[in-house]
Amino acid sequence: MPGKIISAAALALTLAAGTQAHAGDNRAKITVVYDQKLPNVPGKSMKAVLVEYAPGGMSPGHTHPDSAFIYATVLEGAIRSAVNKGPEKTYKAGESFSEFPGDHHSVSANASKTEPARLLAVFVLDTTETELTIDDK
């Protein structure tokens, strides 16, 4: 019996520590899921990025490389977005939007405080670009 109590306590402590480690971090998780040079457009590549927002998660205001054209589609949940000085809009799963070279993405956030959200962003940009997102200073 004491072994079970110790194991249960260890599990509870591990779960609590994991929750605390993520509780203050509401930034989106960004993963490059595709990276391919375009064979018929020398010097250009296509990259796809999966952006995962925890409930209440967000990305800080940012821009992308000047060569980047971006097509984004919401895979799960709903995303609040504002580009340049345009109005904030909420995109639901299945809806999409574009960002053009030089655009400023001022709002990019999960519209829900209780449910996760996921977005797939597909970039066409110069192959030499290594940094896809430049956060505001």
Percentage of the chain lying above the pLDDT 90 cut: 72
Residue 64 placed within a domain: yes
Residue 121 placed within a domain: yes
Residue 136 placed within a domain: no
CATH number for the domain spanning 35: value is 2.60.120.10
Residue 22 placed within a domain: no
The model carries a pTM of 0.78
Residue 3 placed within a domain: no
SS3 call for 135: strand
**What's the rounded Cα separation, in Å, for the pair 127 and 11?**
46
Rg of the chain in Å (alpha carbons): 19
Taking only the tens place, the pLDDT of each residue in 25-52 is: 688 999 999 999 999 999 999 999 999 9
Taking only the tens place, the pLDDT of each residue in 89-110 is: 999 999 999 999 999 999 999 9
Cβ contacts of residue 11 below 8 Å, gap of 6+? Answer: none
Percentage of the chain lying above the pLDDT 70 cut: 82
Q: What is the pLDDT of residue 137?
A: 82
The HSE-up count of residue 103 (CA atoms within 13 Å, CB side) is: 18
